[in-house]
Amino acid sequence: MDLLDISVLYVEDEKISRDSITKFLTSRVKNVYIAADGEEGLEKYIKYRPDMVLADVFMPKMNGLELIDKIKQIDNQVITIFISGYSEAENILNAIEKGVNAFLIKPIRRKKLLQEVEKFAKIILLEKKIKQEEIERKKAEQALMESEHKFRAITESAYDAIVMINKKNEITYWNSAAVEIFDYSKKDVLGKNLYEKIAPAKYKQDFFDAFEKIRKTKENHTKGKTLELIAKKKDGSEFPLEFSVSSVNIENEWHTIGILRDISFRKNAEQKIKRQHEELEQEIEVASSVQSYMLPNWMVKGDEVIFTSTYAPSRKLGGDLLDIIQISDSRYVAYVADISGHGVQAAILMTAVKSTISMIIEAAKEKLELSLILNRLNDILSKRLFDINFLTIILCLVDLKKNTITYYNAGHPPIILYDIQNGKAKILSEKGSIPIGWHEDYAFPPEEGDVFNINENMVIFLYTDGIFECYNKSGEQLGIDGFAKFISNNIHNFNSIILPQKIKKKLIDLDYDISSDDFTLMTIRKIPQEKKDEIKRSFVLKALLEKAGEVAINCEQFIYEKFHDRKFASHIELIVDEFLNNIIRHGLMSKSDSMIMIRLAEDNELELTIWDKGKDWSLPPVREDGKYFPDEKLLDESGRGLFVIYTIASEVTKQRFGEINETVIKIPYRKQ
C-alpha cells in the first residue's frame, strides 16, 4: 500500500495510545511526528509545519485546546482533528469555535481514523497540486517576458502547449507539448497559418478574434483570464481547449503567444461529476419522498384527541422523526426524536429507527412500559446501527381513560404545556435520562419517567432543537425559555388545528432563520366536548372522491338538525361537495393517503373552514363591488370551482401556512 504523501503531527500524553496510533499512522502516512504534550507538540509544529494535526484534549503543560489555538494563530488553514472522550462535550464545543475540522471519540477506531486522515489527505494533496500548477504557470509566463532564450528553455519543458504567431498568423514557435497535444511536428506547422491547422471551421473566427485583439493593441486584455474553445488535432478529431493569450516584442516585431491546454480529461470529469450529481439528486428526491411517506399525517384525529404536526428537514433529507401510534381505543403512543447529524446518513438511520420503534411498541402494546421500550431500543441501536450517532427522544403514552400523559425523556428538549384559560406556557421539569446510544449497556430506570394530567384547556408541545436553536437577524437565539414565551404571547390568536404550521410561519415572519436545522413540532390536545345548542362540528376524511359526497351529506344533515332549513342545508352540501371534489382532484392530485379537515361553526354567519395539504393557489381578483370575478381560467388552473361557491358565500378567504391551505367560507343565514 502506497503511503499518503502528507505529514501528520500526533500529540498524545498517554503512552499506550500514542504508541499504538503512531504505529498505525506510520504504516499509512509518509511523515509522522510525535509529541507527548502540548508544549512539545507546538515546538514540533513550528519546526516541521505538518499538513495535519491530531491532538488529544487533556494533556500536561498545554492542553489540546490551547495547542490548537496557538497552531491556528500560526496557520489558520492547517487541518486539525480533535480527539476527545464522551464526557468532554464542552471541550468539543470550544474546539468548534476554534475551527477544528473533525472529531474522533476515544477509544479511537482505526477504521474511522483512517477515513478521516484519507479524507483530509485528498484535500491537502489537491491543494498542493493546485498551488504547484499555479507556481509552474506563473514561472512559465514570467520567463516568456524576460527573453527569447529563457522563453524557449522553459516552454520546451512545459506541460502546456505554447504557440507563437507573427502578424501574418504564421506559426513561429511550437513547443514539445504542442507536438504531443496536436500531433503536428514542428516541421509540419512552422510557417503555416495557425487557424488552418488547429481551428475547426466553425471556430476559426473565435480563435482569430482572441489572437488578433492582442496583436493590434499590443496589450493583454485577457490577462488573468482563460478562454475555452474547441480545437482540432492533425487527424481532424476535436477536443476542448483552454488557453490564455499575451504578446511579446521580438526584434522589434510584436508576436502573439498562446498558452494552450487540452482539458478533455477535466471536461469528461466535470460531465461525470454532473451526471453523478444529477443521479444523486434524483435518488435524494426519491429518498425524500419515501421519508415523507413514513411520517404521520399532518393531523391525526381520534374521538377525544387530536394530534397535529409539521416537519421540515434543513436539507431534502433529515434526521428528525415523529410518529403517532394508536394502541387501543383510548391509548396512543406519540414521540418526537432527533438523530445526531444531518443529511443522507441521518435520514437512513431515521428510517431504520422509526421501524424499530414501531416493532418494539407493537410487541409490547398489551403491557406498555416506556423505560422497557427505551432499554430495548438502546440495545438494538447500540449494537446494530449506531457507531458514533445517538438519538434523543421524548416518548409519550396518552391515556384518554385516565386523562394522563406518561412520558420518558431521553436527552431531549422538555415538554411545554400551554394553558388556554390563562394564556400561559410552562416548561415541564427536565426530568429524564441520557440519549439512546451513548452507552450500550445502560438501563433506563422507570423512576426517570413522569406523568401529568391533561384536560380540554391544555395544549402539549413536543419539538426538536431546530426550533429553539434558531437565530433572528439580530443574532439572538430563541432558546427554550424564549420559545415558551413565544407560545404565551402568540398562540391565543391561532386555531389549534394547524398550530404547528402557524407557529412556523410566525417565527419566519419574526425573521428567525429556521432553515439551519431540521424543524419538527407536534401538538396534542384533548378535543373539547360539544356544548348543548352549540353549532360546531368537525369532519375528517381521506382524500378519496367517494368520501367527499359522504361528508357533504353529513354536513347537510348536521346543518338541517341545527337550523331546520332544508334549503340552507342543501347550500352547505353543495359548497362542501364542490370544494372537496376540487381539492381532491386538483389540489391533492388524488393523493388518497392525505387528510382533509372541515369545521362548521356559527359566528354571526355560518363559517366553513377547510384545511388541506394540497398545492398552493390564489384567490381571483376582487371587483369594485367587493365580489370576485368568476374567472374560468382561474378555475382551470386552481381546480377550485370558486365561482360556483361565490354565488352562495358572502366571503371567501385563503391563507397558506407551511404546507397547509386554510380556506374560510362565510355563508349568510336569515331565519325563515
Q: What is the pLDDT of residues 171-226, one digit of tens each?
A: 988 888 899 989 999 999 899 988 888 889 888 888 788 777 666 665 544 454 67
How confident is residue 636, by pLDDT bands cut at 50, 70 and 90? very low
Give the pairing of strands 227-232 and 238-250. Answer: antiparallel
Dihedral (CA of 360, 365, 367, 368) sign: positive
Question: What is the DSSP pairing of strand 238-250 with strand 391-399?
Answer: unpaired
Residue type for position 574: L
Higher-confidence position of 318 and 424: 424
Residue at 373: amino acid letter: I
Residue 408 pLDDT level (bands cut at 50, 70, 90): very high
- Give the closest residue to 332 by CA, choosing from 302, 289, 310, 356: 302
Residue 383: burial class (beta carbons within 10 Å; 0-12, 13-18, 19+): exposed
Q: What is the pLDDT of residue 638?
A: 44
Give the per-residue pLDDT at 139. 78
pLDDT level of residue 282 (50, 70, 90 thresholds): confident
As separate numbers, helices (DSSP H) first and strands (DSSP E) second, the chain gives 20, 26
Residue 114 in grid coordinates: 483512517
Give the chain's largest Cα–Cα span.
109
Does the structure show a pLDDT above 50 at 640? Answer: no
Q: How far apart are CA 664 and CA 662, in angstroms?
A: 7
Return the CATH number of the domain spanning residue range 4-129: 3.40.50.2300
Q: How much is the pLDDT for 48?
A: 92
Identify the band that residue 371 occupies on the pLDDT scale cut at 50, 70 and 90.
very high
**Residues 326-345: pLDDT tens digits?**
999 999 999 999 888 666 66
Residue 248 is predicted with a pLDDT of 74
Q: Return the pLDDT at 92.
A: 64
Query: Shortest CA distance to 398 belongs to which of 309, 296, 525?
Result: 525
Q: What percent of the chain has pLDDT over 90?
A: 27
**3-state secondary structure (DSSP) of residue 608:** strand
Q: What are phi and psi of 309, to 5 degrees?
A: -155, 160
| Least confident among 247-251, 520-524, 554-558, 565-569 | 247-251
Q: What is the mean pLDDT of residues 587-609?
A: 81
Cell triple for residue 434? 441520557
pLDDT class of 305 with cuts at 50, 70, 90: very high
Asked whether residue 635 carries a pLDDT value surpassing 50, the answer given is no
Whether the model pTM is above 0.75 = no
Specify the amino acid at residue 157.
S
- Whether the pLDDT of residue 455 is over 90: the answer is yes
The pLDDT of residue 581: 87
Rg (CA), the chain: 35
CB atoms closer than 10 angstroms to residue 525: 21
Give the residue with greater pLDDT, 454 vs 58. Answer: 454
Instruction: Tell me which amino acid residue 24 is.
Output: F
Alpha carbon separation from 6 to 11, 126, 292, 373 (Å, rounded): 17, 11, 44, 48
- Of 35-44, 235-244, 436-445, 622-631, the least confident: 622-631
pLDDT at 146: 64
Pairing outcome for strands 52-56 and 4-11? parallel
Percentages (nearest 5) of helix, strand, coil residues in the chain: 40, 30, 30
The H or E element containing residue 94 is helix 89-97
| 561 pLDDT higher than 80 | yes
By DSSP bridging, strand 660-667 and strand 605-612 are: antiparallel
Say if residue 364's pLDDT is above 60: yes
Average confidence score pLDDT of the chain: 83
Give residue 630's pLDDT band: very low, low, confident or very high (50, 70, 90). Answer: low
- Identity at 482, one-letter amino acid code: G
**CB atoms closer than 10 angstroms to residue 238:** 12
In sequence order, which residues have a C-beta less than 8 Å from that of residue 443 and are 6 or more positions away? 375
CATH of 295-526 among 3.60.40.10, 3.10.105.10, 3.30.1490.120, 3.40.50.970: 3.60.40.10
List, for residues 96-134, the tens digit of each pLDDT value.
777 788 888 888 888 888 888 888 888 888 888 888 888
Position 335 scores a pLDDT of: 95
Whether 332 contacts 302, CB under 8 Å: yes
pLDDT at position 105 is 82
What are the residue boundaries of the structural domains of the chain, listed by start? 4-129, 147-262, 295-526, 536-667
Q: pLDDT class for 287, splitting at 50, 70, 90?
A: low
Query: What is the spatial distance between Cα 513 and Cα 471, in angstroms, rounded to a whole number?
Result: 6
The distance in angstroms from the start CA to the end CA of the chain is 93
Give per-residue pLDDT as tens, 41-89: 899 999 999 999 998 888 888 888 888 888 888 888 888 988 877 555 5
Neighbours of 595 (CB within 10 A): 19
Q: Is the pLDDT of residue 370 over 90?
A: yes
Cα–Cα–Cα angle for 430, 435, 437, rounded to 5 degrees: 170
Query: How many CA atoms are closer than 13 Å to the CA of 100, on its beta-carbon side?
Result: 26
**Alpha-carbon separation of residue 190 from 172, 231, 251 (angstroms):** 6, 18, 18
Residue 606, phi-psi category: left (phi > 0), alpha (psi -120 to 50), beta (remainder) = beta
Topology adopted by domain 536-667: Heat Shock Protein 90 (3.30.565)
The DSSP 8-state label assigned to residue 300 in this structure reads: E
pLDDT digits (tens, 9 = 90+) for 150-163: 666 677 778 888 88
Cα 334 from Cα 324, distance rounded (Å): 4
Label residue 445 by pLDDT band (50, 70, 90): very high
Rounded CA separation 33/29 (Å): 10
Phi, psi of 215 (to 5 degrees): -65, -40
Say what the pLDDT of residue 633 is: 47
Instruction: Name the band, by pLDDT with cuts 50, 70 and 90, for residue 629.
Output: low
Compute the average pLDDT of residues 583-605: 80
In whole angstroms, what is the distance from residue 144 CA to residue 147 CA? 6
Digit-coded pLDDT (tens) for 485-509:
999 998 876 666 889 999 999 999 9
Which H or E element spans position 126? Answer: helix 110-146
Taken in order 485, 323, 302, 519, is the CA torsion positive or negative? Answer: positive
CB 124 within 8 A of CB 52: yes
DSSP string for residues in 559-588: HHHHH--HHHHHHHHHHHHHHHHHIIIIIS
Mean pLDDT, residues 387-393 taken together = 83
The pLDDT score that the predictor gives to residue 336 is 94
| E runs forming strands in 375-510 | 391-399, 404-410, 416-419, 424-427, 450-453, 458-463
Query: In this predicted structure, what is the pLDDT of residue 150?
Result: 64
Q: What is the pLDDT of residue 34?
A: 94
Q: Does domain 147-262 have CATH number 3.40.630.30?
A: no
Measured distance CA(334)–CA(392) in Å, rounded: 14
Q: What percentage of the chain has pLDDT greater than the value 70?
A: 85
Give the closest residue to 297 by CA, choosing from 611, 595, 592, 614.
Answer: 595
State yes or no: pLDDT of 566 exceeds 60. yes
At residue 141, the pLDDT reads 65
Cβ count near 652 (within 10 Å)? 19
Angle of helix 110-146 relative to helix 148-155, nearest 10 degrees, comes to 150
